[in-house]
Structure 1
Amino acid sequence: MPAGGKSRIIFKFAKTVKTAIRENKKIIFACIGSDRSTGDSLGPLVGHMLTPRIRIHDEFEVVGTLKKPLHAMNMNEVLGKYSGEEYFMVAIDASLGRSEEVGNIVFRAEGLRPGAGVGKNLGVVGHVSIYGIVNVGSALGMENMVLQSTRLGLVYEMAQEIVTIIMTGIYLSKSDNQLYMDLVETGSESR
């Protein structure tokens, strides 16, 4: 991850969570992927690691874990339960990119298109998204093979980083500490 990148992601995410909480929305973490493909397991790993950490917070819910993955075959049915205005969805998924981007974690103030990297059109998921670039995209239509051959160690480390980003963002968004609140409000980062 580029220098300062993690701090920027944390503050952007914290600001987003704070706004959703102010609007009394339940925040759904849609952790997309499959436990049957190493590269595509980023979302379920994040869901698996995140679930015990946010259990005590009623305003958050995780969908998509190693036990119950959220994938192309069940996505419409599962996410259909969370389509009302009372929900705010954070989509989390793996992505393919350029070789110099592998290992990067990206926060976007928009949803993502799961499966787009492997030629699937599943529509847009989420109000905001966090994705990890787990391997190099292929121009030869070999994306599934690339995802299958992705190193588990990289995916696991990225999942841990994303959980740290989410939990720190949640902490900052709920903090009574004025310095943290000011940083979250401005999106600034300490140097």
Structure 2
Amino acid sequence: MFSLFGNDERRLDSTPFYLKPSGGTEEKEIAILSLTIGEIIRQASAAGREVVFLCIGSDRYVGDSLGPLVGSMLEDSQVPYKVYGTLKDPVHAFNLKGTIKEINRQFTEPLIFSIDASLGTKEEAGSVIFKEGPLKPGKGIEKVLPPVGDYHFAGVVNYIDPLPTSQFLNDTRLYTVMMLAQAIVKVITGTLPDEGRV
């Protein structure tokens, strides 16, 4: 569904964590981020909060398929967290509000990690950004959707240039989306004790 990160907006919120999957320090960065998120999850679980991963996007466009890919990979990994949004049952612009209502009806004060594709600068393309605070889905393609999540992952699948923003849905490489999805899943499965990993 695409989020949009601009430099001014980044300064308003907490400092984001950047992970560049093609970089040489990838495994170390994944381990550091897994430890950070693992601690957030442990604190929430101790407080009786259910952990939910809300994977947003559509499998109808390569550039917007990051969320459903991550959701399906998490289900395949049999993580002990609730996962919404898969290739089979995507969460997108038409059902996002209803899904948020369902999550809030089913759980009391859930800890929600939202995941979506995003657009950024040329330097950010191919990066995973993890940040405290809600994701603003649809902003990159000028859709008004509710912000969601206590924390969020944004996979920067492409960068902004003079083309119409919607063009990026068609011009994004599947390789980039897969690489970002695999990195996010590694981070999340890295939060599990060794015996909980599949």
Q: TM-score range by the shorter chain?
A: 0.7 to 0.9
* Number of the residue aligned with 1:65: 86
* Number of the residue aligned with 1:125: 148
Unmatched runs of 5 consecutive residues or more in structure 1: 175-191
* Number of the residue aligned with 2:169: 147
For residues 82-114 of structure 1, the C-alpha deviation after alignment (integer angstroms, 9 at most, x for no partner) is 125341111000100111111111111111100
Contact 2:68 2:85 in 1 (8 A): yes
* Number of the residue aligned with 2:61: 37
Partner AA of 1:146 in structure 2: F
Equivalent-residue separation in structure 2 for 1:170 and 1:138 (angstroms): 39
From 66, 77, 91, the equivalent of 1:53 is 77
Shift of 1:9: 2.1
Which secondary structure does the structure 1 equivalent of 2:54 belong to? strand
Q: Which moves more between the two structures, 4-13 or 15-24?
A: 4-13
* Number of the residue aligned with 2:95: 74
Equivalent-residue separation in structure 2 for 1:85 and 1:143 (angstroms): 37
Equivalent-residue separation in structure 1 for 2:128 and 2:109 (angstroms): 27
TM-score normalised by the chain length of structure 2: 0.79
RMSD, aligned α-carbons: 1.8
1:9 and 2:33 correspond:
yes
The percentage of aligned residue pairs carrying the same residue is 36
* Number of the residue aligned with 2:127: 104
Moved over 6 A (4+): none
* Number of the residue aligned with 1:26: 50
Shift of 1:5: 3.6
Unmatched runs of 5 consecutive residues or more in structure 2: 1-19
Contact 1:89 1:128 in 2 (8 A): yes
Contact 2:30 2:186 in 1 (8 A): no
Contact 2:97 2:146 in 1 (8 A): no
Residue-pair matches, total: 169
